[in-house]
Structure 1
């Protein structure tokens, strides 16, 4: 017995219709042909519905409704299609029409009640269910739905009453037992609920009740009792996966990993188990780097089993690809996401996953090409446009990147966060092509909208320092960045360099020394600046030590030649 109402209860009919070609709807129907033609299109719509061509079915049903059909079933099926799209308002209107046309139809009224409940119109839903119960007292699913509604209304007394009625009609069974357990838990009578379930399991035990008791004992860290109940469940049904998985978790917690993997492998390989639940579980497992490193072959098997069980599931493909990246197999990860993209080419998420991996792999040219492909599917998608802009930037195609980010700026109207981000990026891009005037203009626009935009404050201040002008303003901006992020080596370097240009070398040295602790010693440019400050303070030997380190990190900076020149100046 479910705790939440099921909205989709669809009656499927087996209809075989052989149609070589389907002509478009005639613009007019004569009195003689109208009835037969409508039936023809209704059957074709039903055929499309049953083979899964829901879009085509929707078109046919919509046209028939537009023409004023008196066939109540068309409204019913059209309501189902609206439900699948999440359009509950339209589904409600359609089902109300169907019920008006055939007020005695049991399934129509149940569907209407479920839609009302889903829209939180619980009083109206309750009225329908109560009327149906008077007419169909043997329909146990009605009791089930009513309990769900009473729980939503917090009318637990009525829920208990309905449950008692069910047990009078059908007796005790797994569904009624679990519902009684859940109601006790809802009333915060957890210990009473637990004891009830123990007694119920002794007399009416099923794999599900035994497994639930195993889960409770496992949560209470009573592993031995948990294993007893899981074993009981598996004795009743050796294929019952929840019990097998619960047992596996106990073995994992006990560090009995051989027994754990023995259960975990088939669990991941079973295509009948919900993929989302498995993805969530594996994400938690993968978060433990030590576990993955210790049991890489076994985790490999679990991940490959998961992927093989759900080869067309996008979330599974992405999780598997991330694992492959995590274990330095980016080429295999790319193959997985490439296959997933081909299977779901119109999916935004599939494109996003593929582009994200290209970004991670720094495949900039391919990122540009594939972003263009994604934009043919979803034109003007800002995520894809931004990735294309980044790819162009990293490929040194700066003017083209500027065009993209200007377009993004236009599309971002009304989105303040995106506007600020795009203004800041344009400031950086224009500086890279030497247009300082335009660059500084975009920085000022950024700060006018977001005065505390740290990246812009840093970049604007640093570029002003490179021009050796307006140092007071640069100092003020840079100071804000280190107040916001006091351990950021890049921001510390900018601030120290401005202090150096202002002749405050002792202060600059202290700042750069702090930057060394937080990663500055791994950055050639920061080491170069530190050496310049030390040299200005006449600490020549120490300056040369850091210059040597900088030169080893990045010989392209020309530091070796600089040291020769500096040695000459120091004599």
Structure 2
């Protein structure tokens, strides 16, 4: 494979040299008159091509040796210093790479590629402030080039100055408007600063800028849920339902328990939604998780029965999803309906045998039921599947 790659690369270099030769030949005529290129110039061009060919082949030591000789004879050739820097950089010799590219930039300060490469070396060398200086200059010289401003913002945040990064992203938005990329960048910066309200505000601006993109409102609602702001999350879900009354996730999340209704009544109201296969398992898990402590504490019969009915509705709606059987098994397990929990855990293991907690609960049930032979058989399987889990060895 390496030989094939080298042959291909040699082929491309041969083309490059041939084209270079053709270019030189073309320069031999001017208005129909023969023009002779001085031998020294031809030698200079050939020396540059030879050095660059070695760099392209990955022969960096040889390339550096040839570029050193070339720049000694031609110290004002910016391209040679730049390509020598690239050869040093490929060897992770950042000091010499910086020295060489600095000479290229000094000779041709208008070449943006030289300056970009210089900034890249600074960044890799931990000199982020120097890289910032270059990108500040580039963004002023090329104000319409989004990539320069975007990378400048990244470097500013990297340097520990998130406020400067935010100001730079604001400049991008003034030119290009509100976009998903910039809104998410600002959102994440605010999250990192611990400013949740401003982080939410960026998501809200994005959602308002693209009202048809409901995934942005879902993102906002999920962020509110993450920071424990259920009221605002519910309001966002209600806004989603105003736009799309059939949004499954919003329908489930926006359900509220009435002031005078019991937990049992609220859970009963969720059954049609749990029976809907279009509503994700994860959304359903989120709804029932708060009720596990109540089951453990001995919930009233009505609440327990309604939770188990939700479990059975999920089994039908998501019969091939191991999460449905795992969650259903957990509900029956915490309701102390062990035989029924065992059946569901076994179905979960058949669909996905990689979750140890399901095996652990299965073993616990078999132990409680004194089914020793089954317990030992399952324990051996668990030890084989999870050799680093001590729970399997306990049984």
TM-score range relative to shorter protein: 0.5 to 0.7
Does the aligned pair in 2 maintain the 1:252–1:260 contact within 8 Å?
yes
Equivalences, count: 324
**Shift in Å, 1:225:** 1.6
> What's the CA shift for 1:341?
3.8
Matches within 5 A, 1:212-291: 213-238=84-109, 242-244=113-115, 246-256=117-127, 259=130, 271-275=143-147, 278=150, 282=154
| Matched-pair contact (CA < 8 Å) for 1:427–1:443 | no
Out of 442, 446, 450, the residue aligned to residue 314 of structure 2 is: 442
The whole-number CA distance in structure 1 between the counterparts of 2:96 and 2:19 is 34
Partner secondary structure for residue 408 of structure 1: coil
SS at match of 2:306: coil
Greater shift in the superposed pair: 312-321 or 347-356 = 347-356
CA separation of 1:456/1:194 partners in 2, compared to 1, >3 Å: closer, same or farther?
A: farther
The CA deviation string for residues 416-459 of structure 1, in whole angstroms up to 9 with x for no partner, is xx7xx589869969x98816346325315534x34xx1x22322
SS at match of 1:406: coil
- Compared CA separation, residues 422 and 155, structure 1 to 2 (3 A): same
- Note if contact 2:153-2:165 (Cα within 8 Å) is conserved in structure 1: no
**1:270-313 deviations in Å (ceiling 9; x for gaps):** 74444399469949x98xxxxx6xx63x3x14522441331234
Q: What is the CA distance between 1:470 and its match in structure 2?
A: 3.3
Residue in structure 2 matched with residue 461 of structure 1 by the alignment:
329
Cα 1:400–1:205 shift into 2, 3 Å? farther
Indicate the residue corresponding to 1:289 in structure 2.
none
User: What are structure 1's unaligned runs of at least 5 residues?
Assistant: 1-150, 287-291, 410-417, 512-516, 521-571
Q: Which ranges of structure 2 fall in alignment gaps of 5 or more residues?
A: 1-7, 29-40, 258-262, 290-302, 383-387
2:194 partner SS: coil
Using a 3 Å threshold, how does the CA distance of structure 1 residues 355 and 468 change in structure 2: closer, same or farther?
Answer: closer
Q: For 2:340, which of 470, 477, 480 is the aligned residue?
A: 470
Aligned: 1:328 with 2:194: yes
Matches within 5 A, 1:252-401: 252-256=123-127, 259=130, 271-275=143-147, 278=150, 282=154, 296=160, 298=161, 300-301=162-163, 303-311=165-173, 312=177, 313-346=179-212, 350-351=216-217, 353-371=219-237, 373=239, 385=247, 387-389=249-251, 391-392=253-254, 399=269
Question: For the structure 1 residues 348 and 185, does the alpha-carbon distance in structure 2 shift closer, same or farther, using more than 3 Å as the test?
Answer: farther
| Matching residue within 403, 408, 418 for 2:278 | 408
TM value normalised by structure 1: 0.42
CA contact (8 A) 1:210 1:233 kept: yes
Alpha carbons 1:478, 1:495 under 8 Å: kept = no
Contact 1:279–1:316 under 8 Å retained in 2: no
